[in-house]
Amino acid sequence: MMKGFEDLEIWKLAREICNDVWHCMKTTSLSTDYSLKNQINASSGSIMDNIAEGFERNGNREFIQFLSIAKASCGELRSQLYRCFDRKHITEEELERIQLKKILEGKKIGAFMAYLKKSERKGAKYD
Q: Is residue 126 part of a domain?
A: no
Cβ neighbours for 90, distance < 8 A, ≥ 6 positions apart: 24, 28, 30, 81, 84
Q: What CATH number is associated with residue 67?
A: 1.20.1440.60
Element (H, E) at 81: helix 60-86
Confidence (pLDDT) at 33: 96
Calculated CA dihedral for residues 49, 64, 114, 124, nearest 10 degrees: 100
| 4 occurs within a structural domain | no
Question: pLDDT by residue (tens digit) across 38-62?
Answer: 999 999 999 999 999 999 998 889 9
In a domain, 76, yes or no: yes
Q: pLDDT tens, 56-114?
A: 998 889 999 999 999 999 999 999 999 999 999 999 999 999 999 999 999 999 999 99
Q: Which domain does 14 fall in, by range?
A: 9-121
Total structural domains within the chain: 1
* pTM exceeds cut of 0.85: yes
Is 127 within a domain? no
What local confidence, expressed as pLDDT, does residue 35 receive? 96
Band of residue 122 on the pLDDT scale cut at 50, 70, 90: confident
